Structure 1
C-alpha cells in the first residue's frame, strides 16, 4: 500500500489534538504539558509563512513562552523545506526517537470481552498511570488528549479478574482510522491482550471501509511484530529534532 505522508500526516495531527495549537503558514505548532512528543512539537508539514530561519526563531519563542522543550517533528517525505534538518543541525539540534508509521487494512475481530465506548472511562487512568511508571502528570496529559479525539472515536478496554488490563483507542477520519493509546498493564503483558484490543478497535472501523494507521517507536520490536502479524507494514518514518 503506497501512502503519501503529506496526506496522512495532517490526518494524524487532527486525530491526536494538542491542548493549544497555532500555525506559521504550513508549520503546525502543538503544545500541551510537555510529555507526549506528538502534542508538544512543531510539525513542519508545509512551507512556513516567512524565511526559514525567522520561522525557527518564532517556533522557539512560542515554545519558550510556554516553558516547553524545543522540538520539531520531521517526517520523511513531508517536511518542508526539505533541508530543514540542516538548518536545525546548525543550531545545535539533534534527532532522536525514530518512529514508524505503519498502515494496514481495518480487518479486525470483534471480541465480546472487550468493552467499547465513545469516551474514555476510569479504567484508562489506572492503566495509563501504571504504564507510565506512576508518572501521574504524563498519564493525565495523554488522557486529556484522548478525550479530545474528535468523534467518531472508539475506546476499548479489556478487564482481567475485574481489573483493567489492556486498552486502546481509535480516531476515524474519512477513510482512515488511527490507532492510539495502546497500553497493557505491566502484570498482564505477553498474554495476547493487545492483539485482542486492536482487533476489537479495527472491527469497529471495518464497516466504514477504512484503512488503519498507527505509530510505533522503531526500537519497540515486540509491538512491531504484533502489528506486522496483523497485516500492518511500515509506510514511512519520522524523527524528533531537539535541542
Structure 2
C-alpha cells in the first residue's frame, strides 16, 4: 500500500467509530474511548515504518484518562521494533484481524437480495446487536460507536418485515468502510449479509465512491462472504494489550 493510503485508511477507520477524543502523537493516531470496540480505543501508526519512540507518551495519554493503553499493530516486518518494545513493556498480542479492501462496483453487484438502507438506525436495527447469542454490554457499546459516525448509512434485512441482519457503511476522506455486520444466529445462511453488503455498495456507488475497506477477525467464518464479494487482504493486525 502507498504510505499515504495507509494513513487515510487508518484515519477513516477511527472516524467511522467516532471516539470521544482522538490525539495524534508522534505519527500515531490515538483514539480514546472506554467502550469494547478495539478500533475505538487502540493506537495505530499512520505509517508502517514508525519506530517505538512515542509508545511511552501514548501509554501516558491513556493512563492519564483512566484508560488501559492498547495498540493496533500491523504484522509487517518494519514494525518489528515496535512489537519488541511493546513486549518489553508487558503487552501481548491478541485477536488477529485481517484488513481487506475491495471495489465498490463489484460489491454493488454482489447480490440481488433485498435489503433496506436507513439514513438513521431504528430500534429494530439496534436490537440485532442486543439479541440472543450476543453479549449485551458489547452490543450496546457497538451500537453507540457505530451510530455516532459523522457520515454513514445503515443496512437492514430480514424475512417477514423483521430486521434480522444489519450493517453500516461509513464515508471517509477517500474510502467507504464496512462495519458492524451482524446477523442473528437463527437467521444465518439465508443470504441476508450478502444482500446488505450489496445494498451498502450501491449506496456508496451512488455517492461516486470507488473503494471500500473492512476488517474481520481471522477466525470469523464470514471471511468467505467477503472474499466472494471481492475483498482482498492487504495486511493483518493484532491488538496489543
TM range (shorter): 0.7 to 0.9
Look up the match of 1:121. 122
Judge which range, 102-111 or 188-197, deviates more. Answer: 102-111
Residue 15 of structure 2 corresponds to residue 14 of structure 1: yes
1:105 is matched with 103
Scaled by the length of structure 2, the TM-score of the pair is: 0.86
How do 1:28-43 residues align onto structure 2 when only pairs under 5 Å count?
28-43=29-44
| Corresponding residue SS for 1:178 | strand
Is it true that 1:182 corresponds to 2:176 in the alignment? no
TM value normalised by structure 1: 0.85
The CA RMSD measured in Å over matched residues stands at 2.6
The CA distance in 2 between the partners of 1:212 and 1:178, in whole Å, is 5
1:195: which partner in 2?
194
What is the number of equivalent residue pairs in this alignment?
A: 234
Q: How does 1:41-190 map to 2 (within 5 A)?
A: 41-45=42-46, 52=52, 55-76=54-75, 83-106=81-104, 107=106, 108-109=108-109, 113-130=114-131, 133-135=134-136, 137-151=137-151, 153-190=152-189
Cα deviation 1:176-226 (Å, max 9, x = unaligned) = 211001000111112111111101100111231411111001111x21111
User: Post-superposition shift, 1:36?
Assistant: 0.6
Residue 154 of structure 1, CA deviation: 1.3
Which structure shows the bigger proportion of residues in strand conformation? 1
Q: Which runs of 5+ in 2 are unaligned?
A: none
**CA distances 1:78-105 after superposition (whole Å, capped 9, x unpaired):** 98x6621111111121111111111111
Aligned 8 A contact 1:19 1:145 in 2: no
How many angstroms apart in 2 are the aligned matches of 1:5 and 1:77?
Answer: 13
Counterpart of 1:215 in structure 2 is: 215
Task: For 2:35 and 2:145, locate their aligned partners in 1 and report how far apart those are by CA, in whole Å.
Answer: 12
Distance 2:52 2:222 in 1: 37
